[in-house]
Structure 1
Amino acid sequence: MGHLRSSKDNLLKRVKRIAGQIQAIERALDSDDDCSKTLLLVASTRGAINGLMDEIIEDHAREHVANPTLSNEERAKGVDELLEAIRRYSK
């Protein structure tokens, strides 16, 4: 994932925000907060994770599938990796 270095700081900031959102969910559950508040926390966390996934998928597709310098074998491997990640994520 060396090609992610250029956006590494932004990705790490996103992950830290997501970690904070997870902690907020934990606090809400621990303190018996209203379920509607907890649902909103979970929904916003899911949205943040989806955004992170979208960004990494796009970067992977550009670097490991659409990159014109790759061989057909390298592109096929990139597609397989991408499809496996999408399959796992959609379960």
Structure 2
Amino acid sequence: MHTIKDKAKLLTRVRRIQGQAGALEKLLAEDQDCTAVLQQIAAIRGAVNGLMAAVIEGHLVDHLVEESDGDKRQQEAAVMLQVIKSYLK
């Protein structure tokens, strides 16, 4: 499974996002300039998008590209489409 195989990389990304969220909290608590707050929010969004892209890519490769069972591929494709639609809302 790709999330196990790439566990260290994914956890590094999650920890970076946690750090960015902590920095955002600090900016807000200290009444910092809105420009800094907006930049931090944009950085968090970019990091989350990168994490999502990495997990989607791994899932597509492991569960669709390399899957030989046609029925299983269709099920996985349906799941992926639902996740992507939900994420893009």
TM over 0.5: yes
TM-score range, shorter chain: over 0.9
1: CA distance between counterparts of 2:66 and 2:11?
25
Matched positions, count: 89
Cross-structure match for 1:85: 83
2: CA distance between counterparts of 1:31 and 1:77?
48
- Runs of 4+ more than 4 Å apart: none
1: CA distance between counterparts of 2:20 and 2:49?
14
Cross-structure match for 1:63: 62
Cα shift readout 1:5-51 (whole Å, capped 9, x = no counterpart): 22101100100000110111111111110000000000011000000
Secondary structure of 1:11's aligned partner: helix
Secondary structure of 2:5's aligned partner: helix
Cross-structure match for 1:26: 25
- In the TM superposition, residue 68 of structure 1 has moved relative to its aligned partner by 4.3
Q: What letter corresponds to residue 61 of structure 1 in structure 2?
A: L
Are 2:24 and 2:37, in contact at CA under 8 Å, matched by a contact in 1? yes
Q: Which runs of 5+ in 1 are unaligned?
A: none
- Structure 2 residue 35 is the aligned partner of structure 1 residue 36: yes
Are 2:63 and 2:76, in contact at CA under 8 Å, matched by a contact in 1? yes
Of structures 1 and 2, the one with the larger relative CO (CA 8 A, separation 6+) is: 2
